[in-house]
Homo-oligomer: A and B are copies of this chain.
Amino acid sequence: MTSTTTTRRSATGSVALRGVTKVYGRGANAVLALDGVSLDVAPGEFVCLVGASGCGKSTLLNLVAGLDRASGGEITLDEGVNPGLMFQEPALFPWLTVEGNVEVPLKLRGLPRAQRRERVAELLRTVHLADFGRKRPHELSGGMRQRVALARTLALDTPVLLMDEPFGALDAMTRDILHDELERIWTERRLTVLFVTHNVREAARLADRIILLSSRPGRILWSTEVDVPRPRRIDSPEVSAIAAEVTDRLRTEVGRHGQ
């Protein structure tokens, strides 16, 4: 196994994976979580990764985010890009107010206080939470918390957003609304988004491109461009049709493990 190299080019938001492999554990217990995944994400592209449990979606995002090291292959990000990562849970710091949470990455970057304030206010406006800055996370609903988490990630001022089932724990209505919000922010900021989901309809609603991963080992199985014009609606027949197609492929993949 050769070790990974993470090269950084000067540009914005592109992500490239070359034969990325990840093995957890050693010896008899070793799990091949990712097996030679190669993938190019263009700046500003919205890519959805779809796959059954344990196919290595989270592993892939962790590798791109730099929270873990690949066992082999190469991950290339643009010079100075530190991707922001969002999880299924908001992972807000309960001891800080909403403002405090959004302020953390700014503090860690050493921004002066006045600038921080301004930036926090702006970010909270972006996620429609301008009036809730002084609340604590537990005083908010799940959807609001996830929006705070989004604002906090945006505070990193990074062109690459990695999202690991960010809306998986929300109810359908809130999720619909957040889809609109995310789409708006993505367009405004020209972000590159790598979005992991179990939810095929969600993928069809959001993605420029859907990538289907196989399970154990995780490999790219199939991918498709989503050519439905935006703004889209999750109930629309076009989105439903794409969803149905991906669903069937996913089902086949899942069924393969049931025999």
Contacts and interface: CB of A to CB of B under 8 A. Distances in A.
Interface residues of A, number: 28
A131 interface: no
Interface string A136-154: 0000010000000000000
| Most interface-central of A173, A244, A250, A254 (chain B CB within 10 A) | A173
Interface string A182-204: 00000000000000011111100
A247 interface: yes
A169 B172 contact: no
A254 B173 contact: yes
A236 B254 CA distance: 21
Nearest to A199: B172
A192 to B, nearest CB: 24
A199 B201 CA distance: 13
Interface of A: 52-53, 141, 165, 168-169, 171-174, 176, 197-202, 233, 235-237, 240-241, 243-244, 247, 250, 254
